[in-house]
Structure 1
Amino acid sequence: MKSLFAALAAATALMGTQALAQEDPVKIALLHGLSGSPLEAYSKQTHAGFQLGLEYATEGTLEVKGRKIELIIKDTQFKPDVARALLAEAYGDDDALIAVGDTSSGVAMALLPVAEEYEKILLVEPAVADSLTGPDSNRFVFKTSRNSSMDMQAQALALQPNEKLYVATLAQDYAFGRDGIAAFKSALDGTGANVVAEEYVPQQTTDFTATIERLFNALRDKDGRKVIFMNVAGIDAMTPLAAADPGRYGIELSSGGNILPALVAYKQVPGMEGAMYYYYEAPKNPVNDWLVEHHKERYGTPPDFFTAGGMASAMAIVTALEKAETWDTETLIATMEGMTFDTPKGPMTFRPEDHQALQSMYHFKIKVEDGVDWAVPEFVREIKADEMNIPLGRNNQQ
């Protein structure tokens, strides 16, 4: 009888411990560079969007299955070694269930092996490089941010390439820039278009004089449509290029979308066409309507480029936690592979093979509106995921 009572007591104690565990908060770590780079504005938008996404997805409770969501904020300072240490701390000491990061593709690459070592999920947002879901990635990594191939295939579609198109490219010399141009060239394969020059500049460059001269020389004598395509982040290449008057050689400028402060420089190029990830007036759906309304109420401005991505990542996490029967890593991975979830851009789906979220992009044309501080990327059309042949990254058996 004593042994029975002892067993019952042990079972009761275990149930009590499990009940307490269920009441513990679910911890999510946000690891982004919040200091040390012009890209910190992207991180802050991501965090604002993540908070709004949690509110929307949980109907204001900030709870999933009765457990409060606790955010752990860490500043990677845009340094790979700092980021690795902080992710290990988040998974180990802080017991974070899921981590989200980073802003820089180079820093995010440094996080991939840490997620594998701790066997916990890393959700990449907003870093873009294709390599983040490529051969060097692993099965613990998911990605809500678009990738360079999406940017570039949409960009190629917006340029309507043929054998009369001659393009020179300008990008920064790091993972985002080089992956982007490689993806752009791949997107142009088979169209007849000609890439006649590639220029890579330091990540924080301010002097474009020699670079612009080389770009102009590569294009000026070509017989056809001539375009300089810029793939940069955190620097203004538009102003020096526009000031150099490429039109005197019949050269057009083109670039992807950007955050609202950066779009001020786009006022110099009305009529410019390109492809973008997000502008608050482009998507037409209830989630985006809610985001625009509540962001304006809270911050006095419309949501920006990376705000939408932050919201998407939060909605993906809440959807996974709601759907998963248990929250161990293997069950979460099985739940998230092939999972479709709502976002301000409409539904996204994690591709099972490499965990990249497939999503729409938007063709735009720049116009200048009175009373608007930035150039408006006017919506031309939605470029849906199935229009883009996004290369497969790693195999999901890795």
Structure 2
Amino acid sequence: MTGRARVSRRASAAGLGALAVGLGWLGTAGAALAADIKVGEINSYSALPSFTEPYRKGWQLAVDEINAHGGIGGKTLVVVSRDDAGKPGEALTAANELVSREGVVLLAGGFFSNVGLALGDFAKQHRIVYVAGEPLTDALVWSAGNRYTFRLRPSNYMQAAMLAEEAAKLPAKTWASIAPNYEYGQSAVAVFKKLLSARRPDVTWVAEQWPTQGKIDAGPVAQAIAAAKPDAILNVEFGPDLVKLVREGDTRGLFKGRSVVSFLTGEPEYLDPLKDEAPEGWIVTGYPWQAIHTPAHDAFLKAYQDRYHDHPRLGSVVGYALIQAVAGILRKADSTDPETIVAAAEGLGFDTPFGPASFRAIDHQSTLGAFVGTTARRDGAGVMENFRYVDGAAVLPPDADVKALRPKE
């Protein structure tokens, strides 16, 4: 995608008044801000549309709502968006263009972890704030973290901690893993192994498969894991690769009689395409949009469905919450100075469809949580059941550990 999203102040998104107040939309901006407030947004639209298209709808809804409630202190919020095609090099080209030609005051977005790390380094080198939406690698805010980089979604560590708590209750003692062979998959497997072993020292790992992201040869992968005869499987595959793995795994009986713990599989982006082939009983993180009944989510759901005549996906929530958080930062900063924006973002509280969250000053990780439950089939479709929301703040390591992980600046 290349273009701008500029929404008139006269536009409205019904049902989000409560969220508007929670985000401080009644504040005023200072003279330091330009007539339009430009934010650069970069994402992998052509590489993974199942997530990024709902994500784009989410942030466009947010822009609409923000400008309908006065923008950034009366200034129109303009999001200038670029497609990185899932490639770090293209993301950096886009970032350079957005900063040098478009004059954006900060950068936002990202999907793949390797792209997020590239944008985080760009932010550090060019001293411009980057608020990552989706990249999940722990390195983004820890080993490669920097003053200018923030992240919205719960990280690999946070999701692994949620899943390891449930996995530790299983009788399984031997495990195998399947994950895409790039930063996200590698770090997700590593941190899950560490956290599960801390709870269950008796666990051993007997096999692993590392298919190329987007190019899984699911038959041989399933056959290799089955040959190791593990009690349980950790899956980190997503998107079309997940569909292929589930189908080939079912054909070969890979999942029969085995427990499966799976990052992301409960997200509608990845569960919906499976339809009546959706796995049953997998322990997953995800988004059971049909069954969340809170004022914040009800308002978001109504506004999203009214505008798009479709149900939201997790990407929709991420895109919406990301731009709302960015707007909160800019209102508080009341300036385009990067150092002032950083100071405004650190510790900032903001509302999301899942409830309140904040950016921690210690590492710039958001406390946004996730839903953990099990997969099931209902009316020919995959759903999550027996789910609970886990606050992100409850699954982060102690401050002393975080300080040791982050580089000195």
TM-score (norm 1): 0.85
Picking from 39, 42, 46, the partner of 1:31 is 42
One-letter amino acid matched to 1:233: F
In 2, Cα distance between equivalents of 1:314 and 1:66: 17
- After superposition, the CA RMSD in angstroms is 2.5
For residue 322 of structure 1, report the CA deviation from its aligned partner: 2.0
Q: Name the SS of the counterpart of 2:341 in structure 1.
A: helix
Rg bigger for which structure? 1
Counterpart Cα distance in 2 of 1:356 and 1:318: 17
Asked if 2 retains the 8 angstrom alpha-carbon contact of 1:116 and 1:138, the reply is yes
Equivalent in the alignment of 2:211 = 201
Shift of 1:209: 2.4
SS in 2 for 1:265: helix
Deviation of 1:20 after TM superposition, in Å, equals 8.6
Residue 233 (structure 2) aligned to one of 217, 228, 237? 228
- Which residue of structure 1 aligns with residue 391 of structure 2? 384
The partner residue of 2:367 within 358, 381, 396 is: 358
1:345 alignment partner AA: F
The answer to whether the 8 A contact 1:162-1:191 is kept is no
Equivalent pair of 1:197/1:215 in contact (CA under 8 Å): yes
Asked if 1:294 corresponds to 2:299, the answer is no
> Given the alignment, which residue of 144, 149, 172 partners 1:141?
149
The reply to whether residue 215 of structure 1 matches residue 241 of structure 2 is no
1:166 correspondence with 2:174: yes
Q: 2:55 aligns with which of 25, 29, 46?
A: 46
Give me the whole-angstrom Cα distance separating, in 2, the residues matched to 1:357 and 1:21.
27
Contact 1:151 1:275 in 2 (8 A): no
- Report the Cα distance in structure 2 between the residues aligned to 1:83 and 1:229, rounded to whole angstroms: 30
Q: Extract unaligned runs of 5+ from structure 2.
A: 1-29
Deviation of 1:266 after TM superposition, in Å, equals: 6.8
SS at match of 1:27: strand
Cα deviation for residue 128 of structure 1 reads: 1.2
Residues 129-151 of structure 1 show CA distances to partners (whole Å, capped at 9, x for unaligned) of 11111222321101012211122
Corresponding residue number in structure 1 for 2:95: 87
Aligned to 2:326: 317
- For residues 75-117 of structure 1, what are the alpha-carbon distances to aligned partners after superposition, in whole Å with 9 as ceiling and x for unaligned? 1122211111110111121110111121111112111222122
Instruction: Give the Cα–Cα distance (whole angstroms) in 2 for the partners of residues 333 and 269 of structure 1.
Output: 43
Correspondence for 2:348 among 319, 328, 339: 339
Greater RCO, CA 8 A, separation 6+: 2
Kindly indicate whether the alpha-carbon contact (under 8 Å) linking 2:369 and 2:390 is maintained by their aligned counterparts in 1.
Answer: yes
Opposite residue 72 of structure 2, the aligned amino acid is V
Aligned residues: 370
1:251 alignment counterpart: 258
Contact 2:238 2:270 in 1 (8 A): no
Give SS of 1:323's match.
Answer: helix
Q: Distance in 2 between matches of 1:374 and 1:315?
A: 31
- Is the contact between residue 168 and residue 229 of structure 1 (CA under 8 Å) also seen in structure 2? yes
Question: Is the contact between residue 32 and residue 75 of structure 1 (CA under 8 Å) also seen in structure 2?
Answer: yes
Aligned 1:117-136 pairs, distance under 5 A? 117-136=125-144
Cα distance, 1:303 vs structure 2: 0.5
1:74 aligns with 2:79: no
User: CA contact under 8 A between 1:254 and 1:272: conserved in structure 2?
Assistant: no
What letter is aligned with 2:53? K
Query: Which amino acid in 1 is paired with 2:388?
Result: R
How many angstroms apart in 1 are the aligned matches of 2:325 and 2:367?
Answer: 13
Identify if the C-alpha distance between structure 1 residues 330 and 22 changes in structure 2 by more than 3 Å, giving closer, same or farther. Answer: closer
- Secondary structure of the residue aligned to 2:307 is helix
Residue pair 1:257, 1:274 contacting (<8 A) in 2 also: no
- The 2-side partners of 1:359 and 1:396 are apart by 23
Q: Residues of 2 paired with 1:104 and 1:354: CA distance?
A: 20
The structural deviation recorded for 1:375 is 0.5
Q: Quick check: 262-271 or 303-312, which moved more?
A: 262-271
Q: Which amino acid aligns with 2:390?
A: I
Structure 1 runs of 4+ aligned residues shifted over 6 Å read: none
Q: Please, which moves more after superposition, 264-273 or 150-159?
A: 264-273
* Contact 1:291–1:303, Cα closer than 8 Å, also in 2: no
Moved more, 385-394 or 279-288: 385-394
Deviation at 1:163, TM superposition (A): 6.7
Matched, 1:375 2:395: no
The residue number in structure 1 matching 2:21 is none
Q: Deviations over 1:21-42 (max 9, x none)?
A: 755100011111222x2x1332
Task: Deviation per CA, 1:138-167: give whole Å up to 9, x if none.
Answer: 211010122111221111123244674322
TM-superposed deviation, 1:268: 3.5
TM-score of the two chains, using structure 2 as the length reference: 0.83
Aligned to 1:10: none
Partners of 1:279 and 1:304 within 8 A in 2? no
Structure 1 position 238 matched with structure 2 position 246 = yes
